[in-house]
C-alpha cells in the first residue's frame, strides 16, 4: 500500500489527487470571474479564490503524506483549516458589509467560534486531550457559530438588508455552515470515536467535506455576485 506512488486501490489517495486539481481549477475560475462582477462583490471573489488556492497547496502536501506513509496528515489539515475557515468568516462579513453597516464584533465572534472549534478538534486528534473531549469542545465552537449565523446579529443584519442577492448568498452560506459542515464531526466521530482509529474513513470523509464546503461555498457567492451584477 505504501509504495510511494498513487495506487489504483487507494481511493482516499485518489480523492486527495482529484480534489487538489478541482481546487486549482476553482481558484483560477474565481479569480477570472472577478472581472465580470460589480465592484462590491470583487473582494468576495478574491477571497473565494484565495481559499481554493491555499487549500490546493495543502492538498498537494497531504496527498504526499497519505500516499507515501499511509498516515493521516493532521498537521497540514489543521493548518489549512486554520487559514481557510477564518477566510470564510471574512466572506460572511464582506457579504453583509457590501449592503449594510456591520459591527466588526460580528466578525470577531465568528472568528472566536472558529478557533475554539479547531483547537478543540486538533488537540483531540493528536491525542493531547481525550478524543471525546476534543469532540465536545469542537461541537461547542461550531454551535456558537451556528447561533451567530442563524439567530445572532449577523442573521438580523441580513434579514433587514432587503437585498435579494445578499440574502441568497447568506442563506447559501447558512446551508454550508450547518448541513455542509456537519460532515466534519461525522468524519471525526467515525474516525476516532466509533472504536479504534480509522484513517481511510477519517480522510475520505474530510476530503468530501472539503470539496463541498470550499468549492460549493465559493459557488454560492459566485452565483449571488453574478446575478446581482447583471441587474
Ligand X SMILES: *C/C=C(C)/C=C/C=C(C)/C=C/C1=C(C)CCCC1(C)C
Binding site for ligand X (CB under 6 A): 81, 84-85, 117-118, 121, 135, 138-139, 142, 181, 184-185, 188, 210, 213-214
Q: Which is nearer to ligand X, 16 or 181 (CB)?
A: 181
Please state the closest distance from residue 113 (CB atom) to ligand X, in A: 10
CB of 18 to ligand X, least distance (A): 16
| 3-class state of residue 10 by DSSP | coil
Least Å distance, CB 7 to ligand X, is 27
Residue 179 CB, nearest approach to ligand X (Å): 11
What length is written for the chain?
231
Using DSSP's 3-state secondary structure scheme, residue 130 falls into coil
Distance from chain centroid for Cα 187: 14
Which of 219, 105, 106, 108 has the alpha carbon at shortest distance from 168?
Answer: 219
Nearer to ligand X, 49 or 138 (CB): 138
Nearest to 34 by CA among 18, 19, 22, 50: 50
CB of 8 to ligand X, least distance (A): 28
Closest residue to ligand X: CB criterion: 121
- Dmax (CA) for the chain in angstroms is 57
Closest CA to 6 of 93, 81, 70, 72: 70
**Cβ closest to ligand X, residue 178 vs residue 229:** 178
Report whether 22 contacts 211 (CB < 8 A): yes
Which is nearer to ligand X, 107 or 188 (by Cβ)?
188
Q: Tabulate helix, strand, coil % of the chain (nearest 5).
A: 85, 0, 15
Closer residue to ligand X in complex, CB, 161/172: 172
Contacts of 141 (CB under 8 A, 6+ apart): 113, 114, 115, 116, 117, 118, 120
Q: How far is the CB of 172 from ligand X (least distance, A)?
A: 14
- Contact by Cβ (8 Å): 71, 199: yes
Identity of the residue, 16 or 81, whose beta carbon is nearer to ligand X in the bound complex: 81
Amino acid at each position: 500500500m505504501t509504495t510511494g506512488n498513487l495506487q489504483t486501490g487507494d481511493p482516499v489517495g485518489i480523492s486527495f489527487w482529484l480534489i487538489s486539481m478541482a481546487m486549482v481549477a476553482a481558484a483560477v475560475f474565481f479569480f477570472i470571474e472577478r472581472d465580470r462582477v460589480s465592484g462590491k462583490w470583487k473582494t468576495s471573489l478574491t477571497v473565494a479564490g484565495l481559499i481554493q488556492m491555499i487549500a490546493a497547496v495543502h492538498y498537494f502536501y497531504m496527498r504526499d503524506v497519505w500516499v507515501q506513509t499511509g498516515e493521516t496528515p493532521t498537521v497540514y489539515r489543521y493548518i489549512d483549516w486554520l487559514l481557510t475557515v477564518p477566510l470564510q468568516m471574512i466572506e460572511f462579513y464582506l457579504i453583509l458589509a457590501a449592503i449594510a453597516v456591520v459591527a466588526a464584533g460580528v466578525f470577531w465572534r465568528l472568528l472566536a467560534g472558529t478557533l475554539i472549534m479547531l483547537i478543540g478538534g486538533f488537540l483531540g486528534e493528536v491525542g493531547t486531550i481525550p478524543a471525546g473531549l476534543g469532540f465536545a469542545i469542537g461541537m461547542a465552537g461550531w454551535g456558537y457559530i451556528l447561533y451567530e449565523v442563524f439567530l445572532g446579529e449577523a442573521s438580523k443584519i441580513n434579514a433587514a438588508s432587503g437585498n435579494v442577492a445578499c440574502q441568497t448568498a447568506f442563506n447559501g452560506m447558512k446551508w454550508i455552515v450547518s448541513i455542509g459542515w456537519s460532515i466534519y464531526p461525522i468524519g471525526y466521530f467515525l474516525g476516532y470515536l466509533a472504536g479504534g482509529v480509522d484513517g481511510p474513513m477519517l480522510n475520505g470523509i474530510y476530503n468530501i467535506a472539503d470539496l463541498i464546503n470550499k468549492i460549493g461555498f465559493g459557488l454560492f457567492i459566485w452565483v449571488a455576485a453574478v446575478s446581482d451584477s447583471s441587474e
